[in-house]
Structure 1
C-alpha cells in the first residue's frame, strides 16, 4: 500500500535524482560493522544527560573530576513548520529535538558519547547524524540512517578536544537541504583539565552562550510573499531551486530573525567571563561583538591549539564551530553580529547582550554631550 508519506518521500527524492532515491530509501549508505572485535566498556560508569534548548547548555564540569565515562544523550528528530520572521516567513523545518540549532552536547576528551537517535513515525523523511568529532563511517552517518518509525544508538569516543558541528547527511542533494532546513548542531569536547590560555594557564568561564547561525531559502510567490507548504516533502522542489542560487532569504541566529534580541536578549554582568560557542554548518561567517572583543578565541574551535588574543572579528569556516571567551567590562547593550552587515541588519544575523553593572569612565567617557552646532 502506498501511503501519503511514501508518496511525498518519493516525490522529494525523485526531484533530487533517481540515484538518491535508491541510496536513501534502501539504506545503501549504511555499513556492516558486525565483524569488528568487541570492546569491553563494562567497567566505565554511565551518565545520562538531559539536553536543553539553545542558547543554553546543560550542566557540566569544566574540569573533569573523574576518569572517562559513557555519556548518554537522547535526541528526537522533529519535522515541523517554524516561523522565522514577522514578515510571513515560515520554514518547513527538520530539526534535532525541535530546535535550530540542535542542542549543544558537552563531554570531556576520552569520554564516550552514546546517542539514542529517534525518528518518529509521524515524520516523512529518513535522517541520520554525522558528527565531525567522530572517526569513521561518515562521522557516524553510515551507521545511523533511520526511516520514520525507527531509532538507533551510536557510540563514539571523544578523541579530540574542541567544538565540532554535527548535522544530518542522508545522501546526495538531501544533505544540503536537510542542513539548511535546520538539521545541524554542535558538540563541545573539553580537555579533561579544562581550557587554557595561550600561555597554558588555566582559564574558566562563568556561563556559556550557544549561537547556531543558519541560512534559510524560503521561496516567494508571484507577489513577492513568502510561500508556505503543507510539509517538508512539498517544499523540496522550489526550495532546492532557490538553494542552488546560493542567495539566502534569511541568515539568522538560533532559528529565527530576532531570536536573541529584545525580551530574548542574552544577559550578563560586568566582570563575568562568557564563552560564546558559534557554529555554522554550511557557510562561512564572521562573528563580532560590537563594543567588546574576543579575549581568547579558538577560531577553528580546537582546544589543542592555543587561542588567539584580542580579536575584533573572528572567522568561522562553514561546517565548523568556534569558541570565544570575553570578560565584560562595561554595562549596557551590546550587539553580537555576523559582520557581513547586510546579513546582520537586513537578513537577521544579530543577537543582543544586556550587561548589568557600573560604567567605567576610564574605559570610555562622553566628554561633551551632543549640543547644537553651527558652522
Structure 2
C-alpha cells in the first residue's frame, strides 16, 4: 500500500465540508482512517500542469431555457448545434478537454411541441480533432439522426424530423466510442410538450448529470486526460451536474433562486454513459414526477427519490413553503460528498414555523 502523504490526509479530510454541504455529517478523520480508506489505495499519477482554458465556464446556465410554448398549432423549429472541443476547469486547478454541443454541458435545451418539425443544422469547426454527430431520442429514424448528421472537422450537416410523441428526451453524440463522447459532455435534452402544453409554474430549471473518467484522482491539480480503462470499470473520477463540480450552488453559480410560495419545474437529463441517478431534493420531495420524462403519463405525486437511467430524463416539480437551500442530489451520496453531484435551489422569504420550526 502506498505511503499516505500529508497532502492526501488533507484532501480526504476536506471531504467533510462537502458532505456537510449535502445535508449530512461525517466524524473527524484520523490518519489511520485515511490509510484504510479506498482513497488511500489509489496511486496518483503525475499529471501535466493545468492547461489554459478555452472557456471560463463549461456549466450550462440552468435558467437558459426557451419559454413555454403558447401556440396551438405545429411549427418548424430551427435548431443549430455546434460541436466544440474545449479545455475548461472541472474545479479550480483541474482542467479537462470536454466535447460539447455549443460549448456547454449539458447541451442547449431544445423546446418543441407534438407535431413540430425540427430543422437541424449541425456544424463541426475546422479546429476539431474528431468526427461528431447527434442522436435524438425524440426522432423516429435510423440512429435517431446519427447516421445523417456525421460531421468531420470543417463540415456541417442538415436533418429534418417530426416530433410525434410528448416527453423529455436525451440527445447525444453517437459516433464510435460513443461512451467517451457522452462522458466528455456531449448530451442534452429535447423537450416535446404535449399539444395542450405544460401546467404553469413560476420557474423552470435545466440540469444534466454525467460521469467523467480521468487518469487523475478527484481534486488532483493539473490537466486530466480521459481514461478508457477506468470507464470500462465504471469507476468515475467525477460525477457532475452541469459539467463542473458543485457548479450550480451558492458558492459557485448561484442561479437557481426562488421565493417562498413559488413553484419550480426541473428538467433533468442523465447522459451517463453508465450510472443512473437517484434524484432527490434534500429537505423536500418532488411534488410531481414524470418518470422517464413521459409527459403522456400521469405524474407520480410526493416522490422522495426518483431513478433516472443513463440515456433518460425526468420532469419534476417542487414547491417552497419555507426559506432555505434545497440541495438536489444523486442519493448515491458518495457521488455528492466526493465526486461533485450537487445543485442547490435557494428560496428566500419569511419563515413559516407552522411548517418548519428550527426552535432557535
Question: Is the TM value for this pair above 0.5?
Answer: yes
Tell whether the 8 Å contact from 2:82 to 2:125 is kept in structure 1 after alignment: yes
Distance (whole Å) between structure 2 residues aligned to residue 53 and residue 211 of structure 1: 8
Q: Secondary structure at the match of 1:260?
A: coil
Q: TM-score, normalising length from structure 2?
A: 0.79
Does 2:44 correspond to 1:55?
no
Q: TM-score, normalising length from structure 1?
A: 0.76
Distance (whole Å) between structure 2 residues aligned to residue 56 and residue 364 of structure 1: 28
Shift of 1:57: 3.1
Does 2:193 correspond to 1:190?
yes
- Give the counterpart of 2:143 among 138, 141, 159: 138
Distance (whole Å) between structure 2 residues aligned to residue 293 and residue 126 of structure 1: 42
Shift of 1:226: 5.6
Tell whether the 8 Å contact from 2:330 to 2:341 is kept in structure 1 after alignment: yes
Tell whether the 8 Å contact from 1:107 to 1:190 is kept in structure 2 after alignment: yes
- Cα deviation 1:103-137 (Å, max 9, x = unaligned): 11111111111111000001010000000111111
Name the structure 2 match of 1:33.
none
Distance (whole Å) between structure 2 residues aligned to residue 54 and residue 225 of structure 1: 26
Name the structure 2 match of 1:163.
168
Name the structure 1 match of 2:6.
none
Distance (whole Å) between structure 1 residues aligned to residue 215 and residue 342 of structure 2: 22
Alignment of 1:1-375 (within 5 A): 53-62=60-69, 64-86=70-92, 88-171=93-176, 174-195=177-198, 203-220=199-216, 225=220, 228=223, 235=225, 239-261=227-249, 262-265=251-254, 266-282=256-272, 283-367=275-359, 369=360
Q: Secondary structure at the match of 1:344?
A: helix
Shift of 1:58: 3.3
Distance (whole Å) between structure 2 residues aligned to residue 350 and residue 273 of structure 1: 20
Name the structure 2 match of 1:28.
none
Distance (whole Å) between structure 1 residues aligned to residue 154 and residue 68 of structure 2: 35
Tell whether the 8 Å contact from 1:214 to 1:280 is kept in structure 2 after alignment: yes
Q: Secondary structure at the match of 2:223?
A: coil
Q: CA RMSD in A?
A: 1.8
Flag as ranges the 4+ runs of structure 1 deviating above 3 A.
Answer: 224-227
Distance (whole Å) between structure 1 residues aligned to residue 136 and residue 221 of structure 2: 33
Distance (whole Å) between structure 1 residues aligned to residue 220 and residue 288 of structure 2: 43
Give the 3 Å change call, closer, same or farther, for CA 137–226 of structure 1 in structure 2.
Answer: farther
Unaligned runs of at least 5 residues, structure 1: 1-51, 196-202, 230-234, 370-375
Distance (whole Å) between structure 1 residues aligned to residue 197 and residue 191 of structure 2: 12
Unaligned runs of at least 5 residues, structure 2: 1-58
Tell whether the 8 Å contact from 2:171 to 2:190 is kept in structure 1 after alignment: yes
Distance (whole Å) between structure 1 residues aligned to residue 303 and residue 193 of structure 2: 22
Distance (whole Å) between structure 2 residues aligned to residue 66 and residue 161 of structure 1: 15
Q: Secondary structure at the match of 2:340?
A: coil
